[in-house]
Amino acid sequence: MKQSRKIIIAAVALLLTVILVLASCKRPGSSDEVVVVTDKNGVPVTDESGEAITVVLETEIVEITNENGEKVYDENGKVKTSVIYHSQNVKVPVTDSEGRFVTDKNGEIKSQLITVPPQVEKFSSVQYFTDPLGSTLFDGNGQPVTNIIEYTTGHADQGGNSANWGTTFGGSANDSYKGVAATPDGGCVAVFQTNSTDGTLQGIAKKDFSVPYIVLTKYDNTGRLKWQKVVGGGNSMIIDGIATDSEGNIALAGYTKSGSLGFQNYGDYDAVLFKLNSSGDVQWVKNFGGSMTDGFTSVCFAPDGGIVAAGLCASSDGSASSLGLGSGQSAALVVKFDASGNQIFAQKAGGSGDSFNGVSVASDGSIYAVGPFTSNTAFAGHGRADAGVAKFNSDGSVAWVKGYGGSQIENFHGITAVNDGCVIAGRSSSNDGDLAQLGNQGEYDAILVKFSSSGDIGWQNAFRGPKFDNFLSIKQLSDGSYVAAGCSASSTRDMRTVGNKGGKDGIIVTFNSSGIMTSVQGYGGTADDEFNSICVLSSGEFVACGSSLSANGDLVGTSAQSDGTNTVGMIAKFK
Q: Are 573 and 540 in contact (CB under 8 A)?
A: no
- Whether residue 71 sits in one domain with residue 133: no
Q: Which of 177, 161, 132 is nearest to 533 (CA)?
A: 177
Query: At residue 1, does pLDDT exceed 90?
Result: no
- Whether residue 64 sits in one domain with residue 138: no
Range of the domain at 141: 122-153
| Mean pLDDT score, 562-575 | 94
Instruction: Report the range of poorest mean pLDDT among 53-57, 153-157, 546-550.
Output: 153-157
pLDDT band, residue 41 (cuts 50/70/90)? low
What's the whole-model pTM score? 0.79
CB atoms within 10 A of CB 459: 14
Flag whether 401 is in a domain: no
- Whether residue 143 sits in one domain with residue 53: no
- Whether residue 146 sits in one domain with residue 48: no
Flag whether 376 is in a domain: no
Query: At residue 555, does pLDDT exceed 60?
Result: yes
- Whether residue 105 sits in one domain with residue 91: yes
Flag whether 19 is in a domain: yes
Flag whether 177 is in a domain: no
Cis check for the bond before 117: say yes or no (omega within 30 of 0): yes
Of residues 99 and 524, more confidence is placed in 524
- Whether residue 50 sits in one domain with residue 10: yes
Residue 130: phi and psi, rounded to 5, are: -130, 160
Rounded CA-CA distance 235/337 in Å is: 24
Strands 386-392 and 81-85 turn out to be unpaired
Give the DSSP H/E element, type plus range, for residue 403. Answer: strand 398-404
pLDDT band, residue 234 (cuts 50/70/90)? low
Cis check for the bond before 212: say yes or no (omega within 30 of 0): yes
Rounded CA-CA distance 255/536 in Å is: 26
With a pLDDT cut of 70, the percent of the chain lying above it is: 77
| Mean pLDDT score, 425-440 | 92
Query: At residue 462, does pLDDT exceed 80?
Result: yes
Highest mean pLDDT pick, 116-120, 195-199, 508-512: 508-512
Rounded CA-CA distance 83/58 in Å is: 10
Domain count, the chain: 2
User: Looking at residue 207, what DSSP letter applies?
Assistant: T
pLDDT band, residue 138 (cuts 50/70/90)? low
Flag whether 47 is in a domain: yes
Instruction: Report the range of poorest mean pLDDT among 124-133, 222-231, 430-439, 491-500.
Output: 124-133
Flag whether 439 is in a domain: no
Task: Pick the last residue of a domain from 119, 145, 162.
Answer: 119
Instruction: Report the range of poorest mean pLDDT among 95-104, 294-303, 463-472, 527-536.
Output: 95-104
Instruction: Report the range of poorest mean pLDDT among 9-23, 154-168, 347-361, 511-525.
Output: 9-23
Mean confidence (pLDDT) of the chain:
84
| Mean pLDDT score, 402-410 | 94
